[in-house]
Amino acid sequence: MLKTHIAEAIEGKQAAYKYLLDGHWNLVFGFLLKRVNNEYEAEEISIETFSKAFDKLSKYDEKYEFGTWLITISKNIQIDHYRKKKNAPLHRTTEVNEALLKKIADGSLSAEDQLIKEQNLTELLRYIKMLKPHYQEAINLFYFQELSYNEISDSIGVPLSNVKVRLLRARKLLAEIITQSS
């Protein structure tokens, strides 16, 4: 089943990316939280981990566990962050494969998007305020200001791949809040 989702993600299917993100987010985030002892930093590195993993998905070797591969990526990114922080705290770079990133988003509405669309705007805004500020910002820029991924990337100064993963995560968390409140 996992192999199928990886193959579909390589083909650019949004649902496969979502499956991989949802199925492994807690593993990666939990690992990083123990290492950095800072929820915000662990979340940012987790987003970067999935961004880099999705960018390099075609290079994944199936003889290794997928979760172990993700943990290795996250550990390397965390070490890089530590080194950068130590040497130049304001400098951040990420390699991005633009062709792959364009494949991540497709036109169909995910279950989370459908829930978001169906909610009353006032109620929806109340739910959005329950999210962390960087998720609120991503939702606001994408859904209410109708900025593209590239425009959001420029606006908040993060790589395009991180914007896409952040929006995936924000939609998932918002859908969970909405479902729990219903």
pLDDT tens string, the chain, 182 residues long: the values are 888 999 998 888 888 888 998 899 999 999 999 999 988 889 989 999 998 999 899 999 888 899 999 999 999 999 988 888 777 644 444 445 555 555 555 556 566 666 666 656 677 788 889 999 999 999 989 888 888 989 999 999 988 888 888 998 898 898 888 888 86
Question: How long a stretch of residues is the chain?
Answer: 182
What confidence score (pLDDT) does residue 83 get? 83
Q: Is 159 left (phi over 0), alpha (psi -120 to 50) or beta?
A: beta
SS3 content of the chain, % helix, strand, coil (to 5): 75, 0, 25
Q: For residues 43 and 29, is the Cβ–Cβ distance under 8 A?
A: yes
Nearest alpha-carbon partner for 44 in 134, 130, 129: 134
| pLDDT for the residue numbered 179 | 85
| 101: nearest Cα among 138, 39, 148, 157 | 148
| Residue 144 pLDDT | 85
Instruction: Give the Cα-Cα-Cα angle 143, 136, 9 (nearest 5 degrees).
Output: 65
CA–CA gap between residue 155 and residue 149 (Å, rounded): 10
Which domains are assigned to the chain?
Answer: 2-87 (1.10.1740.10), 109-181 (1.10.10.10)
